[in-house]
Copies of this chain bind each other. A is one copy, B any other.
C-alpha cells in the first residue's frame, strides 16, 4: 500500500517546487488503486463505530486464527471469533489472556465489551430448544456491539400461546431476531404482529425435507409478513450484527 508518508512527501515536493504539478498529477495517476489512506479509512470506521471485527474459525488452523487475532487487535477494540471450539479458545487465551469464551454461542470475544449505548433492546426469539446455540450467537454478537438484548426461547408457532403470553416482550423490542428450524414459520407470525424490523435466521435443525435448513430458509424468504429479512442458515452472527447495527442507528 502506498504510504501516507509518500503522498505527504509528494505534496511537500510540490510545495517546494521540487516536483511540478504535472509530474505530481502523473504520479497520482500511476497509482489508480493505491488509494490515499483508503485502508486507514476502514480502520477509522471500525474505531468510530465500535463494531467488532469477526474471525470465522471454521476451516482455519489454530495458528491461522491466533495470527489473525493478533493482527486485528492492533486496530480494533473488540474482536469476535465465531464458530470457535475449546481448542481455539485455549490457543487464543494464551495470547489474549482476557479473552472471553461464550461456549453455547461458540464465540470468543477479545477486547472490550462496550457498555450498552442505548436503552432500546434487541429481542432474540427461538422456535425451539435446539435453536438456542444459533440464537446465543446472535445475542452475544449484538451485546458485543453495545446493544441491550432480551431472550425469549422455545416459543414456536405449533404452540402459539407461548408466543402470545410474551406479547409485552414482543411489542417493546426495537429490533427482533427470529430463529427457527424445521418449518421456519416463526418470523411470519412475528412479522405480522409487530411493526419493527424482524431479522429471520433459519437453522439447520430438523430432518428429512428440512434439507439442512433449506425448508426453513424458503419459508422465511416467502413470508407474507412485511418487515422481515433473512440471513444465511445458522448465521447467528450475521443476524446479531445487522440487528445490532439497526438498533444503534441514531445513537
Residues of A whose CB lies within 8 Å of any CB of B are: 1, 4, 7-8, 11-12, 14-15, 17, 21, 24-25, 28-29, 31-42, 45, 49, 51, 54, 56, 58-60, 64, 68, 120, 127-130, 156-162, 164-165, 167-168, 170, 174-175, 182-185, 188-189, 191-193, 195-199, 202, 204-235, 237-239, 241-242, 245-246, 249-250
Number of copies: 8
Determine if B226 and A130 form an interchain contact, defined as CB atoms under 8 angstroms apart.
no
Contact of A58 among B130, B189, B214, B226 (CB under 8 A): B130
- Most chain B CB inside 10 Å of its own CB: which residue of A129, A168, A204: A129
Q: Identify 14 residue pairs between A and B in the complex whose beta-carbon atoms are under 8 Å apart, listed by A's number.
A: A15-B15, A32-B37, A32-B167, A34-B164, A35-B164, A157-B189, A158-B188, A197-B246, A207-B235, A208-B212, A214-B218, A228-B242, A229-B229, A229-B242
Structural contact, B165 and A39, CB atoms closer than 8 A: yes
Give me 12 other A-B pairs in contact (C-beta within 8 A), A45-B195, A185-B189 excluded: A35-B165, A38-B161, A157-B157, A157-B185, A157-B192, A183-B220, A185-B219, A185-B223, A197-B242, A218-B219, A221-B232, A246-B249
